[in-house]
């Protein structure tokens, strides 16, 4: 297994002495041609990563893609920050806020998910798996239950000593348990850590032997959680990630693909929304609030800012972007977005939220010109939010930084 740790927007090239082999590059190119998402772009003798981060495994190539906004801090720092964000916004089990409870130190995101999955399945087995009544039809040597007459004629016209019956059984064979078991099968195949793989193998042998079922996104969307199955929620969350993002290579038979990747812009936006909702109670925090600004016979067009803050005295629009501004100067497109958001939502203050950067609470860009349609001065700012704290402390620092900016009134 070739394991590479790279960063977003980085180039991974085929070199004579490099770790990337021609066969692995061919697998990446084949995946790029069939993937509905642009997880990376192709270049001469290599690939160019985009804003997606996480784990991409194709055959024997294991790419760990991390976020990065500066060159001073090493890969473990950015790995920890990515895990902090995923714990907040993507529903990793709340019982594991840090990796300190794990038996092994995860070397990347996939190891963390697999060990958390093993721990959740262990808890389910210790509690006892849920059971349900179901109707089972089969040939038997004794008459138990109801005789299915049509099937009896079809199967047992010659074998009169057999009975095709339908009867109720109370066992583990229902969809929740089947999904957990199928997740164990894939998790064992993906595990690169020997201890984690051994633990998953033992859990699979302890699990009842259940029939496999086809799995799609709709399978999880219509999955009910009752009083009996509510303890399954954390394990099903990880099983969903594994089952929906693992794609066996049917054509080649060797380059199985796992794409456990997240768009950093969306992740950063949802992380900031969570920080403000937890630690800025003075404001109503609205995410992706839509407002129609154009109508026609062919349809409508809407504005959808990332975050809107409201209280009794003001409305503030925030636009979250995970990027570095060249020279600290926002683009014309960024300024247009802030201006249109402020005008359409009646916000006197708008801000662009960026990671890292200067240590001051804000860098004031200036004031937008007064609109002829609406009076009022609208301020546009760039807020550099720190990337350095860990866990819940990071959320608090971000909320405090924005609160300082909100309390600094310049009108």
pLDDT tens digit sequence for 335-364: 888 888 888 888 888 899 999 855 554 555
Query: 2-29: string of b/e by CB count within 10 Å (b at 16+)?
Result: eeebbbbbeebebeeeeebeeebbebbe
> Please, which contacts does 238-241 make with residues 24 or more away whose CB atoms are closer than 8 Å?
238/92, 238/93, 238/113, 238/116, 238/117, 238/120, 238/183, 239/117, 239/179, 239/180, 239/182, 239/183, 241/113
Number of C-beta neighbours around residue 308 at 10 A? 21
| Per-residue tokens: 8 | 């977003």
- How far is it, in rounded angstroms, from Cα 411 to Cα 401? 19
Residue count of the chain, please give it.
Answer: 411
Whether residue 253 has pLDDT greater than 80? no
The two counts, helices (H) then strands (E), for the chain are: 11, 19
Q: What is the pLDDT of residue 300?
A: 87
Q: What is the pLDDT of residue 98?
A: 41
Give the mean model confidence (pLDDT) for residues 385-392.
83
Stronger pLDDT, 153 or 408, i.e. the higher one = 153
Q: What is the pLDDT of residue 101?
A: 43
- The DSSP 8-state label assigned to residue 301 in this structure reads E
Whether residue 173 has pLDDT greater than 80? yes
- How far is it, in rounded angstroms, from Cα 317 to Cα 286? 10
What domains are defined for the chain? 2-128+175-264 (no CATH), 132-171 (no CATH), 280-407 (3.40.1350)
- Closest listed residue to residue 50, CA positions, set 61, 34, 37: 37
Number of C-beta neighbours around residue 272 at 10 A? 28
Whether residue 213 has pLDDT greater than 70? yes
Give the mean model confidence (pLDDT) for residues 25-32.
87
- Give CA torsion, residues 128, 133, 135, 136, to 10 deg: 20
Which percentage of the chain shows pLDDT scores above 70? 88
Whether residue 265 has pLDDT greater than 60? yes
| Range name among 46-55, 104-113, 140-149, 311-320 with the lowest pLDDT average | 104-113
For strand 46-49 and strand 299-303, is the pairing parallel, antiparallel, or unpaired? unpaired
Q: What is the pLDDT of residue 96?
A: 41
Whether residue 301 has pLDDT greater than 50? yes
**Per-state percent for the chain, helix, strand, coil, to nearest 5:** 40, 25, 35
| Per-residue tokens: 334 | 């960024």
The whole-model pTM stands at: 0.80
Q: What is the pLDDT of residue 267?
A: 92
- How far is it, in rounded angstroms, from Cα 55 to Cα 262? 9
Question: Torsions phi, psi of 13, nearest 5?
Answer: -115, 150
Following DSSP, what letter does each residue of 156-167 receive, concatenated?
Answer: -SS-TT-EEEEE
Whether residue 308 has pLDDT greater than 50? yes
- Closest listed residue to residue 411, CA positions, set 379, 386, 371: 379
How high is the mean pLDDT of the chain? 82
5 DSSP β-pair partners: 64
Whether residue 290 has pLDDT greater than 50? yes
Question: Does the CA dihedral 137-138-144-149 come out positive or negative?
Answer: positive
CA distance to 312, 326, 402, per residue, from 282 (Å)? 10, 34, 12
Which percentage of the chain shows pLDDT scores above 90? 21
| Range name among 100-104, 357-361, 405-409 with the lowest pLDDT average | 100-104
CA–CA–CA angle 381, 387, 391 (5° rounding): 125
């Amino acid at each position: 297994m070739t394991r590479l740790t790279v960063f977003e927007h980085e180039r991974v090239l085929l070199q004579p002495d490099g770790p990337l082999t021609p066969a692995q590059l061919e697998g990446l190119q084949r995946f790029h041609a069939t993937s509905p998402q642009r997880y990376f772009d192709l270049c001469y003798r290599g690939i160019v990563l985009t804003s997606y981060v996480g784990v991409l495994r194709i055959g024997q190539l294991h790419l760990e893609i991390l976020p990065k906004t500066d060159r001073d801090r090493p890969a473990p720092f950015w790995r920890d920050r990515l895990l902090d964000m995923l714990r907040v916004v993507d529903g990793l089990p709340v019982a594991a806020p840090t990796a300190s409870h794990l038996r092994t130190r995860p070397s990347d995101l996939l190891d963390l998910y697999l060990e958390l999955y093993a721990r959740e399945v262990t808890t389910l087995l210790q509690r006892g798996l849920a059971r349900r009544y179901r109707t089972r039809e089969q040939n038997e040597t004794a008459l138990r239950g109801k005789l299915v007459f049509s099937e009896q004629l079809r199967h047992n016209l010659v074998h009169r000593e057999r009975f095709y019956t339908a009867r109720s059984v109370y066992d583990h064979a229902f969809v929740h348990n089947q999904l957990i078991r199928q997740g164990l099968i894939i998790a064992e195949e993906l595990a690169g850590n020997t201890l984690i793989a051994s633990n998953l193998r033992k859990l699979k042998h302890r699990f009842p032997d259940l029939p496999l079922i086809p799995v799609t996104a709709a399978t999880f969307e219509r999955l009910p959680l009752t009083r009996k199955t509510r303890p399954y929620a954390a394990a099903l969350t990880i099983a969903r990630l594994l089952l929906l993002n693992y794609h066996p290579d049917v054509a080649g038979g060797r380059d199985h693909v796992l794409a456990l990747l997240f768009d950093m812009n969306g992740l950063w936006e949802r992380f900031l929304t969570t920080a403000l909702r937890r630690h800025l109670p003075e404001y109503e925090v609205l995410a992706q609030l839509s407002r129609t600004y154009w109508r026609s016979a062919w349809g409508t067009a809407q504005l959808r800012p990332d975050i809107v803050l409201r209280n009794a005295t003001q409305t503030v629009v925030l636009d979250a972007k995970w990027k570095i501004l060249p020279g600290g100067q926002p683009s014309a497109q960024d300024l247009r977005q802030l201006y249109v958001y402020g005008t359409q939502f009646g916000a006197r203050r708008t801000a662009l939220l960026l990671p890292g950067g200067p240590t001051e609470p804000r860098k004031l860009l200036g004031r937008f010109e007064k609109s002829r349609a609406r009076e009022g001065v609208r301020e546009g700012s760039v807020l550099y939010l720190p990337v350095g704290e860990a866990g819940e402390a990071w959320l608090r620092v971000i909320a405090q930084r924005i609160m300082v900016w909100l309390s600094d009134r310049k009108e």
